[in-house]
């Protein structure tokens, strides 16, 4: 009997053999996907990208693939506080989900990659992750007749193409907004009102993907009067960007614990408590953050709403 954990991988394997299939944009998402003109989606590129996504040859000791950290069964995260690379090398940041990254304006928690093509190949070259050079990866892949002519550019474009097909929508909130009034429980509806109002979540989590794609300082990186992680500052050099990180999508949020850029909060209840107290005070705390004074019932309602953002994940489809 096939176990639930194996089903996503079995599905992926079946689609690899068949090539990309056509589907539709899940309910609730923007029908327009910003696909770059120099890397249009094609069935062949998507199928190659998927194959490479699960290929352990991309890591130096051939122990890791992209899917090691971005696991389909965990909504393309890994359930760990911070990333773990080859030989158990640990990073400093949580693995972000790849859900709906086609809509992203920049990538990584500090926004250092301006495209998915760049984002796709950086972990391969990171010594704490896969620890390879592009030249070494290409040489290794070229020994396989199926990828004998691949270039580093094609590697990046194929991986980015596959990632652009990873979508999540058709969640209870989407069905509710589409007129299915019973899709949300009464408690979740109260949570929606709090999300839009008293809890002020829409100051950052807006739009179909519940993210403004901006960078905000909540104080998670501030401890004992010093920065544990400079965040966006490393990219911009602007003092006001210290400790700021990209607003994550809230889609699939109930399935992508732990939370925050360093995985320091284990549950959504802890996240709600963190924002209820107004984050951690620091010199550059986002002005939208302030104590919320939510009651126990309001916290429970907000949690119920956040859980309604988990929907149906599809990948590998050429829409």
Residue 28 CA from chain centroid, whole number:
17
- Same fold: 4-167 with 168-312: yes
CB atoms within 10 A of CB 266: 12
* CB-side neighbour CA atoms (13 Å) of 91: 23
Q: What is the pLDDT of residues 24-42, one digit of tens each?
A: 899 999 999 999 999 999 9
Q: How far apart are CA 282 and CA 137, in angstroms?
A: 43
- DSSP letter for 4, please: G
Q: What is the pLDDT of residues 102-144, one digit of tens each?
A: 999 999 999 999 999 999 999 999 999 999 999 999 999 999 9
Supply the CATH classification number for the domain 4-167. Answer: 1.10.760.10
What pLDDT, on the 0 to 100 scale, is given for residue 318? 86
Residues (pLDDT < 70) of the chain are: 1-23
CB atoms within 10 A of CB 182: 9
Give kind and range of the element (H or E) at residue 227.
strand 226-227
What pLDDT, on the 0 to 100 scale, is given for residue 319? 73
Per CATH, the homologous superfamily of domain 168-312 is Cytochrome c-like domain (1.10.760.10)
CB 222 within 8 A of CB 280: yes
| Residue in the block written with tokens 């889609």 | 251
Strand partners, 259: 265
pTM over the 0.75 mark = yes
Q: Domain boundaries in the chain?
A: 4-167, 168-312
CB 155 within 8 A of CB 141: yes
């Amino acid at each position: 009997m096939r176990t639930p954990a194996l089903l996503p991988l079995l599905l992926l394997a079946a689609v690899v053999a068949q090539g990309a299939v056509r589907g539709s944009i899940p309910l609730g998402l923007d029908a327009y996907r910003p696909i770059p003109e120099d890397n249009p989606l094609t069935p062949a590129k998507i199928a190659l990208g998927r194959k490479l996504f699960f290929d352990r040859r991309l890591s130096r000791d051939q122990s890791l693939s992209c899917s090691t950290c971005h696991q389909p069964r965990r909504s393309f995260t890994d359930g760990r506080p911070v990333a773990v690379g080859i030989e158990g090398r640990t990073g400093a940041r949580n693995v972000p989900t790849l859900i709906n990254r086609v809509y992203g304006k920049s990538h990584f928690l500090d926004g250092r990659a301006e495209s998915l093509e760049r984002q796709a190949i950086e972990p391969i070259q990171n010594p704490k992750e896969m620890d390879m050079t592009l030249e070494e990866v290409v040489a290794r892949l070229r020994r396989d007749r199926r990828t004998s002519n691949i270039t580093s550019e094609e590697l990046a474009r194929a991986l980015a193409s596959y990632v652009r097909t990873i979508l999540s929508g058709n969640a209870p909130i989407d069905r509710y907004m589409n007129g299915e009034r019973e899709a949300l429980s009464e408690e979740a509806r109260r949570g929606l009102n709090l999300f839009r109002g008293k809890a002020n979540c829409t100051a950052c989590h807006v739009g179909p993907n519940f993210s403004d794609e901006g960078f905000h300082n909540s104080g998670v990186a501030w401890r004992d009067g010093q920065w544990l992680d400079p965040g966006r500052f490393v990219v911009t050099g602007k003092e006001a960007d210290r400790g700021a990180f990209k607003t994550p999508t809230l889609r699939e949020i109930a399935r992508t614990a732990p939370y925050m850029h360093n995985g320091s909060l284990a549950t959504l209840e802890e996240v709600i408590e963190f924002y209820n107290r107004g984050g951690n005070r620091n010199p550059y705390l986002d002005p939208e953050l302030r104590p919320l004074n939510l009651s126990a019932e309001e916290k429970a309602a907000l949690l119920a709403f956040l859980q309604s953002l988990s929907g149906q994940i599809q990948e590998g489809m050429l829409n």
